[in-house]
Structure 1
Amino acid sequence: MSKKMKKPVYEVNPHTMIILPLKTKSGVQSEVFELNDHRISSFTPLFLIKTSCQYFGSSYEGRREGTRFLTGVTHKPPIMIDPVSFTYAFPTTSAGRDDCIWIFPQHISEYYDSNYNCTTIRFNNKQKIKISVSFATFNNQMARVSMLHMKFSQKMRAVETEYPYSNLLFPPVSLAAESREPYNTKEVSDTNDNFVDFSYPEMSKQKKNKENKEE
């Protein structure tokens, strides 16, 4: 059963996989999936992203500006929330929209086209989530966050080369920009029980209400 959180505000951490918007009678809240946890926050996804940026020493606007400076991306830009743990996130739509989902790509093992402009994501913990975002759009956002990671890593390597005795806390991290095969976009079976279909939120909501009544 999901944990209901009122306060304090949820803070993004290295275990955060995805933040989904959850529409309720009182407004938009957040459904957060972590590697080993699942919880509900009474705040919007964008509010959680903004406060998490502040928690790690910057503003949300500052992170967006950093992305623009490094990559030139201004529309739906990915951001680096925490430079020490290399925690990245990207929005699936314009961040101010109520249906915007925030994805943390470092936990994605594969993703694939699910037809009808939907994409299914499989995370490293085997959790699968289907969202109403076209494969082309999702793939483009993955490319953008990969570019951000590459540009930032290049900057850090340049600093380490110029100042080799500096005690820099930037250990190498495997992500899309590293020399490995990070994403497998082949078709896989949807028979896994550990599957969340967020492509039709209303249907998912009805399913949850039914499960709650049975409990």
Structure 2
Amino acid sequence: MLLLECYIINQKTLYMQGFYDRNGKRCTLVRELDKTFTVDRSPLHILEDSIKCIGYDLKGAMASAKWILGEIHMPPVMINPIQSICVFSDKSAKNEDTIWFNPVHIVRTISYKKKTYIEFSNGITLILHCSVSSFNTKLQNAMQLRNLTTEMGKNPISMILDPSKRKPTRKNKK
């Protein structure tokens, strides 16, 4: 399998998952639309590297997501607002086997025997040991963050979030 030294999350990224290689080093399995490969960096390093490319950091991206969506548990992360690339995790980033998903490539989720079957835009299916409702909530949060961030960037009308309601309200610039 192809081994890369570094990787930047892009529009072809489906998901990525951390693992330990035979020497005990933290690496990442990356699945793109048309290929799968290993990166010699942890998923969190890949997230950090990808966000740094546009002049931000992971801590700030997570804080922004909570500001936009409210104080949700395990917020999604906007990787690149210019290209509308957002990712979300199936569990805490602290877990070794956390998977980071790009929501735009998820076509369908199906519940079967307390597991979630995820179908991607390229026809690949992945099975997770979690409830479909929990996964779909995270998917919905990621899509909402992606849509709101994209809207804020494109629309000349500024969007101001009312923290008490956690709903965006539009206010004309003067």
Provide, for residues 124-165 of structure 1, a one-character-per-residue CA deviation record: whole Å limited to 9, x for no partner: 111111122321210110121122123224423542x57xxx
Superposition deviation, residue 28 in structure 1: 3.0
Structure 1 runs (4+) deviating above 4 angstroms are: none
Q: TM-score, normalised by structure 1?
A: 0.67
Q: State the distance in 1 between where 2:43 and 2:52 align.
A: 15
Aligned AA (2:56) = S
Aligned AA (1:142) = L
In the TM superposition, 1:94-113 aligns within 5 A as 94-113=92-111
- Matched position secondary structure for 2:113: coil
Q: State the distance in 2 between where 1:21 and 1:134 align.
A: 21
Q: CA contact under 8 A between 1:71 and 1:151: conserved in structure 2?
A: no
- Which structure: greater strand fraction? 2
- Matched position secondary structure for 2:98: coil
Q: State the distance in 2 between where 1:108 and 1:16 align.
A: 11
Decide which of 33, 36, 44 is 2:34's aligned counterpart: 36
Q: Which residue of 2 aligns with 1:140?
A: 137
Q: State the distance in 1 between where 2:46 and 2:154 align.
A: 31
Q: Which residue of 2 aligns with 1:80?
A: 78
Q: Which residue of 1 aligns with 2:2?
A: 3
Q: Which runs of 5+ in 1 are unaligned?
A: 163-215
- Which structure: greater helix fraction? 1
Q: Is 138-147 or 81-90 further displaced after alignment?
A: 138-147
Identity %: 22
Q: Which residue of 1 aligns with 2:13?
A: 16
Q: TM-score, normalised by structure 2?
A: 0.82
Over aligned residue pairs, what C-alpha RMSD do you find? 1.8
Q: State the distance in 1 between where 2:33 and 2:55 align.
A: 24
Q: CA contact under 8 A between 1:63 and 1:80: conserved in structure 2?
A: yes
Residue-pair matches, total = 157
Q: State the distance in 1 between where 2:76 and 2:106 align.
A: 15
Q: CA contact under 8 A between 2:3 and 2:39: conserved in structure 1?
A: yes
Q: State the distance in 1 between where 2:13 and 2:48 align.
A: 15
Superposition deviation, residue 58 in structure 1: 0.8
In the TM superposition, 1:1-215 aligns within 5 A as 2-5=1-4, 7=5, 9-25=6-22, 26-116=24-114, 118-159=115-156, 161=157
Are residues 82 and 153 of structure 1, via their aligned partners in 2, closer, same or farther at CA, if it must alter by over 3 Å? closer
- Matched position secondary structure for 1:43: coil
Q: State the distance in 1 between where 2:44 and 2:131 align.
A: 21
Provide, for residues 51-92 of structure 1, a one-character-per-residue CA deviation record: whole Å limited to 9, x for no partner: 111122210011111111111134210011001110010011
Q: Which runs of 5+ in 2 are unaligned?
A: 159-174
- Matched position secondary structure for 1:56: coil
Provide, for residues 152-194 of structure 1, a one-character-per-residue CA deviation record: whole Å limited to 9, x for no partner: 24423542x57xxxxxxxxxxxxxxxxxxxxxxxxxxxxxxxx
